[in-house]
Chains A and B, each alone.
Chain A
Amino acid sequence: KAGVTQTPRYLIKTRGQQVTLSCSPISGHRSVSWYQQTPGQGLQFLFEYFSETQRNKGNFPGRFSGRQFSNSRSEMNVSTLELGDSALYLCASSSGGRANEQFFGPGTRLTVL
């Protein structure tokens, strides 16, 4: 079974721009969660999608949004980028939800200049 894939792996943007990150879960997994990882704040939960519906959301501003498609692939979008958005963005899929074993992708390293 192929693992979770994320594209792109690296991204450099400037302040004010917007960015879209993509995640393809393991085949058959319907739950996709997104996390932001920074040295200062650690791993923070962004949101979880299950069967195309946002099921849970973390404490992030509305600039962070996401969606999930019928094939379970998910995208997250960050608009009006700020320097503080520089982070490793991790996507994880599971067969059930966040209480189950999470399978993580390699992440997208976003740098905002």
Chain B
Amino acid sequence: SQQGEEDPQALSIQEGENATMNCSYKTSINNLQWYRQNSGRGLVHLILIRSNEREKHSGRLRVTLDTSKKSSSLLITASRAADTASYFCATDPTGSEKLVFGKGTKLTVNP
């Protein structure tokens, strides 16, 4: 089963609004990463947050990590049509040798 589960599975918003996506995972992790994928293409790394960090910013992106709740959130502020994509969280579970991806949140930003 997937280590990370994104929520919601799909999200549709208007340009200019904020988009929040959540990721929950099951076991302890070393770090958590967020990636974006435009339709049928490769993934693009957005941000990496380590298990000892609580919040990280990159441009219009804000990521939080709550290891006690085993959850993370990705906030995209002032969304644009170009943000339309699927967003995945990926965890690096402690003791595991694999980077495990969730099934993603499909974000649609309407102009």
Binding site for B on A (CB under 8 A): 4, 33, 35, 42-45, 48, 55-56, 58, 88, 90, 92, 98-107, 109
Interface residue ranges of B10-32 to A (CB < 8 Å): 30-31
Residues of B within 8 A of A4 (CB): 42
CA distance A105 to B42 in the complex (A): 5
A48 to B42, CA, bound (A): 17
Q: Are A42 and B103 in contact (CB under 8 A)?
A: yes
In the complex formed, the residue of A with least CB distance to B46 is: A101
CB-contact partner of A106 in B41, B101, B102, under 8 A? B41
Residues of B within 8 A of A107 (CB): 40-42
What 4 A-B pairs come out closest when comparing CB atoms? A104-B42, A43-B101, A98-B99, A56-B97
What is the interface of chain B, defined by CB distance below 8 A to chain A?
Answer: 2, 30-31, 33, 35, 40-45, 48, 88, 90, 92, 97-104
A103 CA to B46 CA, complexed, in Å = 11
The answer, among A42, A90, A99, A109, for a CB contact under 8 Å with B31, is A99
When distances are taken between beta carbons in the complex, the residues of chain B under 8 Å from A43 are 43, 88, 101
Contact of B99 among A33, A42, A105, A106 (CB under 8 A): A33
**Residues on B with beta carbons closer than 8 Å to the beta carbon of A44:** 101
Q: Are B98 and A45 in contact (CB under 8 A)?
A: yes
**B45 and chain A: residue at smallest CB distance:** A101
Name the residue in A4, A43, A105, A109 with the highest tally of chain B Cβ atoms < 10 Å from its Cβ: A43
In the complex, A87 Cα to B40 Cα: how many Å? 10
Of B30, B90, B97, most buried by chain A (CB within 10 Å of CB) is: B97
Instruction: Report yes or no: A56 in contact with B98, Cβ–Cβ below 8 A.
Output: yes
User: Is the beta-carbon distance between A99 and B92 smaller than 8 angstroms?
Assistant: yes
CB distance from A37 to the nearest CB of B (A): 9
Could you tell me the distance between the alpha carbons of A102 and B45 in the complex, rounded to whole angstroms?
7
Contact B104 A42 (CB under 8 A): yes
Point out the residues of chain A lying under 8 angstroms from B43, CB to CB: 43, 90, 92, 102, 104
With A42-B102, A101-B48 already in contact, the answer to whether A106 and B97 are too (CB < 8 A) is: no
Closest to B43 in A: A104
Shortest C-beta distance, A24 to chain B (Å), equals 13
